[in-house]
Amino acid sequence: MRLCRYKAGGVVGYGLLEDDAVQPFEGDLFGQRQPTGASLPLADVQLLAPLVPGTILAAAVNYKSHLPSGRAVLKDDDAPDIPQFFLKPASSVIGPGETIVLPKGARRVDAEGELVAVIGRVCHQVAPEEALDYVLGYTCGNDVSARHWQRDDLQWWRAKGSDTFTPLGPAIATDVEPGDVMLRTRVNGQERQSSSTDQLIHSVAKMIAFASEVISLAPGDLLFTGTPGEPPKLEDGDAVEVEIDGIGILSNPVRREA
């Protein structure tokens, strides 16, 4: 099942995303959902970010093929012993088709395709063996990153949190296996990242359990699980896609701020 958030005729609602239509339902993502019986052609709706998130945690350096600089491959003894998280503001979230804006002063800006876990119920001090039971589903995410700000600032608040730097979508898939799913990132149709999530250093379950030791995760909180390989640079006029099997394709145009 793929859950989506959409806008049609000026009304925002939730529904089930099919190949060519959205089937609206009453209720919300985290409670009872009652189908309305309607079917909206996909051409007549605008898909939005699949939810308005609360806390957004993102994992740094969680594939051996990736370093923050994007220039080298991690050796086994370089891998972090524990998950390394940073926070992204909800104000940076955009949906499918919305424009990633490269801010003034941001020189190199990269795309980072990631699997994103959506928390479905309150999660506090859970064991790794139970952690996935607290997940509603998974969506595609793009952890857009301004490299010079990431390098020069003591905190990553603008490097990772500028407006439009957190594209999400197109849907939340409830039946994805997070331990072995293919992720691909393309820029202008050219594949630039490709990996299975079986290459994660820390599993989704371990990351949720680790975070929940000190943070109470709530429905709608997000966990970005890391990006593989060397992230591709974004330029004005590009189109970037993040595709994850079973979820779909998150596509966004890119524009540099005048």
For residue range 96-113, what is the model confidence (pLDDT) as tens digits? 999 999 999 999 999 999
| CATH, domain range 1-48 | 2.30.30.370
Task: Give the mean model confidence (pLDDT) for residues 212-237.
Answer: 97
Instruction: Name the helix (H) or strand (E) containing 209.
Output: helix 204-212
| CATH, domain range 49-256 | 3.90.850.10
Q: What is the pLDDT of residues 16-25, one digit of tens each?
A: 999 999 999 9
What band does 72 get if pLDDT is binned at 50, 70 and 90? very low
The strand ranges marked E within 28-95 are 33-35, 40-41, 46-47, 56-60, 84-88, 93-94
pTM: 0.95
pLDDT for position 158: 97
pLDDT for position 123: 96
Give the pairing of strands 56-60 and 84-88: antiparallel
Task: Give the mean model confidence (pLDDT) for residues 129-156.
Answer: 97
Q: How far apart are CA 29 and CA 9, in angstroms?
A: 21
What band does 79 get if pLDDT is binned at 50, 70 and 90? confident
What band does 66 get if pLDDT is binned at 50, 70 and 90? low
pLDDT over 50 at 185, yes or no = yes
pLDDT over 70 at 199, yes or no = yes
Domain residue spans of the chain: 1-48, 49-256
Share of the chain above pLDDT 90, in %: 92
Q: How far apart are CA 187 and CA 26, in angstroms?
A: 37
